[in-house]
């Protein structure tokens, strides 16, 4: 695969570097850079932005400067990797708040007269990397990986990302699972996948 412009979004809401999500994001980013891909990184926990509380603000408001910079990084990238932990069966609230700020009309989508959105971020691919304590197979079989599927379908595909791939890392307290996940991130980062 040729060189890509990759944005790695580390979306753990706690900036403490000891969290495994941070290690996964760093490992992917390091491998991508070593393989010659152009790279940008973003740590959601270190950004200062308000939550969107008013639909009019989301539709017509101006994003804060930190969000405008994140939008520029997304615009620049042709592949976006988003790494986060599963909390209460879904993405952490800080990631959802970030996405509500970033994926505004005029940047990520544009509503047409028929009410359907025009996808303004088409031409980009994405990878969702989610960690959890439960086994990944259990999450897929019992819960249908519904929250990850919803993120893919209702946010990323809605604004044009295709393809969207998923990496589900279960049993993160197990040292063997962590080692395997880090190796998978090295391989994906090197490929820019």
Instruction: Report how far residue 54's alpha carbon sits from residue 130's, in angstroms, rounded to the nearest whole number.
Output: 29
> Are 69 and 47 contacting, i.e. CB atoms less than 8 angstroms apart?
no
**Which domain covers residue 14, as residue numbers?**
5-191
CATH number at residue 30: 3.40.50.360
pLDDT in tens, 24-79: 999 999 999 999 999 999 999 999 999 999 999 999 999 999 999 999 999 999 99
69: left (phi over 0), alpha (psi -120 to 50) or beta: alpha
pLDDT of residue 2: 82
Q: Which residues contact 63 (CB under 8 A, 6 or more apart)?
A: 49, 71, 101, 102, 104, 107
pLDDT of residue 45: 98
User: What letter does residue 117 receive in the DSSP assignment?
Assistant: E
pLDDT of residue 1: 59
> What would the two tokens of residue 132 be?
């959890």
128: left (phi over 0), alpha (psi -120 to 50) or beta: beta
For the chain, what is the domain count?
1
Instruction: Report how far residue 84's alpha carbon sits from residue 190's, in angstroms, rounded to the nearest whole number.
Output: 20
> Which positions of the chain have pLDDT values less than 70?
1
Query: Residue 23: exposed, middle, or buried by beta-carbon count in 10 A (0-12, 13-18, 19+)?
Result: middle
């Amino acid at each position: 695969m040729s060189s890509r412009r990759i944005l790695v979004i580390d979306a753990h809401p706690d900036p403490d570097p000891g969290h495994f999500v941070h290690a996964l994001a760093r490992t992917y980013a390091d491998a991508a850079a070593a393989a010659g891909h152009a790279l940008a990184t973003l740590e959601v926990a270190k950004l200062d932005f308000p939550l969107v509380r008013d639909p009019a603000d989301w539709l017509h408001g101006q994003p804060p400067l930190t969000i405008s910079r994140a939008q520029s990084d997304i615009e620049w990238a042709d592949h976006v990797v988003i790494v986060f932990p599963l909390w209460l069966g879904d993405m952490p609230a800080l990631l959802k708040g970030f996405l509500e700020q970033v994926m505004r009309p005029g940047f990520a989508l544009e509503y047409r007269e028929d009410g359907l959105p025009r996808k303004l971020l088409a031409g980009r691919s994405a990878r969702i990397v989610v960690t959890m304590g439960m086994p990944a197979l259990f999450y897929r079989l019992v819960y249908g990986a519904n929250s990850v599927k919803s993120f893919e379908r209702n946010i990323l595909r809605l604004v044009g990302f295709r393809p969207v791939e998923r990496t589900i890392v279960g049993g993160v307290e197990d040292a063997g699972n962590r080692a395997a996940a880090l190796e998978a991130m090295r391989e994906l980062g090197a490929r820019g996948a």
